[in-house]
Structure formats: C-alpha cells, structure tokens
Amino acid sequence: MEEKEEKLNIEQVANEESTSNNAEKNEQKTQELVTVRPVKFQEFDDTPPNRSIKKNLDIMQDVLMHISVELGRTKSSIKEVMEMEKGSIVELDKIAGEQVEIYVNEKLVAKGEVIVIEDKFGVRVTSTNIQKGTNSNL
C-alpha cells in the first residue's frame, strides 16, 4: 500500500510539474504574440464649422412650420359661447393697436403689429426672439 501511495505522489508531482511547464509555455507564447504599435488618429477636415452649419440649415429650408398670430385671449362660459351668433362680438384682453404675439410651432418667437394690405390682414414684425432663445425681451 505504501508503494501505491509513493507512486501516486510521484505521479502527482509529475503532473504538477507538467502543468506548471505548460503554463510557462503558454505565458511565453502570449508574450510573443503581443505587439505594441503607436496610435494613429484620423485627421479632421479643414472645413470651417460655419460652412457645415450652413449646409445643415440648407437641408432644412423646405421644412414646413405652423405659424400663428395671437390677437388676444378671453374666458367665456359655455352659456356665452352657445349664445354666440353671426355678428356677435368677442372682447379680448388686449387693446386696439397693442402688439400681437407670433408663434412658430406653438413657441413665441416674435411680436408685431397688425396691418391691412388690400383686403388681407398681415403682421409687421417689430421684435424677434429667434437668436436669443428666450422670451425675456418680448
């Protein structure tokens, strides 16, 4: 029985040695396969940024937008609305001659004054808020 144990121990040692040799060989192979190269970055075009922005805006020139002008607002009860008929007058919260708001896609972008050209109404823009992006100056 002792001989068997010795043989097993000798086989275990031999297996461990071969395993460690294999690991060393694999590590050497891995080390041989690794190559290091300097990083090369793609160069950018010399196109000024304004040109690319202009090209992007040119693409959008034909996009349709909903423009509306608000003359004023009021609140009415259902009874008052139901009583309206041809010739009824709806009183608004603005006085005649006061500036009107111009909305593009439901966002306030300008103010103007109502004008009449031949038989059509129009709005002359008096102030805009397109570049600033806020409604503070309107």
The CATH number linked to 86 is: 2.30.330.10
Helix (H, G, I), strand (E, B) or coil at 102: strand
In a domain, 9, yes or no: no
Q: CA torsion angle for 94, 84, 66, 130 (degrees, to 10)?
A: 10
In a domain, 84, yes or no: yes
Please write the tens of the pLDDT for every residue from 42-52. 776 665 666 66
**Is a pLDDT exceeding 50 seen at residue 127?**
yes
N- to C-terminal Cα separation, the chain: 102
What count of other Cβ atoms lies within 10 Å of the Cβ of residue 92? Answer: 13
**Is a pLDDT exceeding 50 seen at residue 133?**
no
Cα–Cα distances in Å, from 71 out to 21, 50, 88, 121?
A: 90, 38, 17, 12
In a domain, 134, yes or no: no
Average pLDDT over residues 69-82: 91
In a domain, 8, yes or no: no
In a domain, 103, yes or no: yes
Token readout for 115 is: 């004008």
Q: What are the φ/ψ torsions at residue 7 (nearest 5 degrees)?
A: -65, -40
Please write the tens of the pLDDT for every residue from 80-121. 999 999 999 998 888 888 889 999 998 999 999 988 888 888
Domain with 85, as residue range(s), is 65-128
Query: How many domains, the chain?
Result: 1
Express as a percent the part of the chain with pLDDT over 90.
25
pLDDT band at 135 (very low <50, low <70, confident <90, very high): very low
Q: How high does pLDDT run on average in the chain?
A: 75
In a domain, 48, yes or no: no
